Chains A and B, each alone.
Chain A
């Protein structure tokens, strides 16, 4: 009898405990171990989301564009997504909404995404890529577009460059093995490649093409955001704290600790990487510039109204 009472008490205590936690809202966010996502990892790791009453689970993927269909599918509710892909989705009727800034890449070089070739290989400058293979992380994505724009600007015949899709984490191995001749990388992988002595930088597609480029933006689906304004507000508040943290600690030991913890890279290498800006607001003019470039390269039929895509809950 007494054993039963003890057991009942234990069960109800546990029940109360889980009920208290149930007041937290559970959301999922898509992530990828690249430099642009430092704010998300910071917000999770420093407990900013928890402090807003959000229980955030990170859904990771190596190829952020391949991960992105999970958002309309409802697999997660938020993701810092590449702008070029977001705009194409919008053009296809997928109702992405920009609910916050992400990373911005600002001239002058060096920036976070160089084109890297083999140090002992034949490619020294952009023109050498004619007749060769260049890897980008996602077809029709940010680096696909800007690598093409950059090569065009440098007088390279795009028809002679074979562009292949290799996700960021696999690019270095593909480069070293000779499967590809060059790769449009991002940090921290780019510095890893150059620090190893096996990679040589050919150029910087972002900053040598456009002085301010908004790389990723925080997105959610329009309907879900409309139905959950409080959750969105709380998430964005915590996320912006993550932005501020990542921006503040761009070049110091705290930042290195954060980035090496989620990329699993040696802190000595991480200390040398380039870092983007993590602004507090969405730069609409820069996005409009990108949209115009997308139209020129056939990714969009017409530039959409960017202001209309920004959603304030």
Chain B
């Protein structure tokens, strides 16, 4: 099947599902108010956008996600390279990592509120924590799987450790690191929404809870659509950037499938 044909099949399937949803909603009778049709949700969404209600919460969520993501990424790559390269450091940190990693980070929102308050610092921290672990694990994996010949060659040329890590190890490990970054993107998105729902302090998460509390059902669904579209756009942007940065390693994207889930 051609690429266009493949896309067309998927899009067509989505279209059929939407049509079924529309029909089911229109026939739902008593539960109609709880189960709005896509056409109604689209109308509500269009009104919300036109009246300027969407931009600010969206921007707030994206800024928090961005800040947390960058913080988590920087820390995870730094520690990951160190742990991947040095057995000693790995032995030091591994128990701690294995203890903290399985904790669902959404559960940390409430305890963190006591230390960090309900504002942006708490949300950015939660996102950073959630983003940290998948990137860390994949960075360690990526660093460990760097072909030993590269390191031997580097040593032969007398390249110092710092240069070697930055110019040889990091680029070699980058496809695996990007696999971790991809997972972390989804995780970070979930966490920023959850943190906003709990702390009721603006953003997309708050908007959804706010609509739910007032029984503004169509608006609630419209916000979920905003979430879906935002997630889709972020994912597409990520893949575009990854394609640019990893242009020299196209065939290594297969690593995506073996990406370590954290």
A-to-B contact residues, CB < 8 Å? 65-66, 68-69, 72-73, 85, 88-89, 91-95, 133, 138-141, 162-165, 177, 179, 221, 223, 299
Given contacts A85-B215, A164-B201, A177-B114, contact A93 B210 (CB under 8 A): no
Residue of A88, A92, A95, A133 near B118 (CB, 8 A) is A133
8 contacts between A and B (CB under 8 A): A65-B213, A88-B216, A92-B218, A95-B33, A139-B209, A140-B214, A177-B114, A223-B30
A69 to B211, CA, bound (A): 12
State whether A85 touches B33 (Cβ < 8 A): no
B31 touches A69 (CB 8 A): no
Indicate which residue in A69, A162, A164, A179 contacts B114 across the interface (CB closer than 8 Å): A179
> A72, A141, A163: which contacts B213 (Cβ < 8 A)?
A141
| Interface of B (DSSP majority class) | helix
Query: Quick check: is B255 within 8 A (CB to CB) of the other chain?
Result: no
Task: Answer yes or no: B217 CB below 8 A from chain A CBs.
Answer: yes
Given A69-B215, A163-B200; 18 other pairs, CB 8 A cutoff? A66-B213, A72-B31, A72-B34, A88-B214, A92-B218, A93-B32, A94-B33, A94-B217, A133-B118, A138-B213, A139-B200, A139-B209, A139-B213, A139-B214, A164-B201, A165-B209, A165-B213, A221-B30
Contact of B210 with A92 in the complex, beta carbons under 8 Å:
no
A94 touches B215 (CB 8 A): yes
Is there contact, CB below 8 Å, between A179 and B210? Answer: no
A121: min CB distance to chain B, Å:
15
B203-230 interface (Cβ within 8 A of A): 209-210, 212-218
A89 to B213, CA, bound (A): 9
Contact between chains at B31 and A139 (CB < 8 Å) = no
Question: Using Cβ atoms and an 8 Å threshold, which residues of chain A touch B214?
Answer: 85, 88, 92, 139-140, 299
- Chain A residues in 8 Å Cβ range of B117: 179
A-B contact count (CB 8 A): 60
Q: A295: shortest Cβ distance to chain B, in Å? A: 14
- Chain B residues whose CB sits within 8 angstroms of the CB of A65 once the complex forms: 213
A64 → B minimal CB distance (Å): 11
Q: What separation, in Å, do the CA atoms of A133 and B215 have in the docked complex?
A: 25
Assembly CA distance A69 to B117 (angstroms): 29
Distance in angstroms from B31 CB to nearest chain A CB is 7
Q: Mark B172-213, 1 if CB is under 8 A from A, else 0.
A: 000000000000000000000000000111000000011011
Q: Which residue of B lies closest to A138 (CB)?
A: B213
Could you say which residues of chain A place their CB within 8 Å of the CB of B201?
162, 164
Q: CA–CA, A85 to B216, complex, Å?
A: 10
B209 x A92 contact (CB < 8 A): no
User: CB of B164 within 8 A of chain A?
Assistant: no
Q: Which residues of B contact A (CB under 8 A)?
A: 30-34, 113-114, 117-118, 199-201, 209-210, 212-218
Q: Does A92 contact B215, Cβ atoms closer than 8 Å?
A: yes
Indicate if the CB atoms of B213 and A94 lie closer than 8 Å. Answer: no
**CB pair A73 B34 closer than 8 Å:** yes
Give the shortest distance, in Å, between A174 (CB) and chain B (any CB). 9
B199 neighbours in A (Cβ, 8 Å): 164
Q: Return the chain B residue nearest A177 by Cβ.
A: B114
- Chain B nearest CB: distance from A158 CB in Å? 15
Query: Which of A85, A95, A140 is within 8 Å of B210, CB to CB?
Result: A140
List of 5 A-B pairs having minimum Cβ-Cβ separation, nearest first: A93-B33, A89-B215, A140-B214, A88-B214, A165-B200
Q: How far is the CA of A91 from the CA of B200 in the complex (A)?
A: 23
Evaluate contact between B118 and A179: CB separation under 8 angstroms.
yes
Minimum Cβ distance to chain A for residue B47 (Å): 13
Chain B's closest residue to A133 (CB) is B118
- Complex: A140 Cα to B216 Cα, angstroms: 11
Q: Is the CB of A85 within 8 A of B213?
A: yes
Of chain B, the residue at the smallest CB distance from A88 is B214
Q: Which residues of B contact A88 (CB under 8 A)?
A: 214-216
Find the B residue at minimum CB distance from A72: B34
Which chain B residue has the least Cβ–Cβ distance from A170? Answer: B110
Name the residue on A nearest B34 (C-beta): A72
Task: With a 10 A CB-CB cut-off, give which of B34, B113, B214 has the most chain A CB atoms.
Answer: B214
Output the nearest chain B residue to A84 by Cβ-Cβ distance. Answer: B214
- Contact assessment for A179 and B34 in the assembled complex, using a CB-CB cutoff below 8 Å: no
What's the minimum C-beta distance from A225 to chain B, rounded to whole angstroms? Answer: 12
CB distance from A175 to the nearest CB of B (A): 13
Across the interface, do A164 and B200 meet the contact criterion of CB distance under 8 Å? Answer: yes
Q: Which residues of A contact B118 (CB under 8 A)?
A: 133, 164, 179
CA distance A123 to B31 in the complex (A): 46
CB-CB nearest in chain B for A164 = B200
A223 contact set on B, CB distance < 8 A:
30
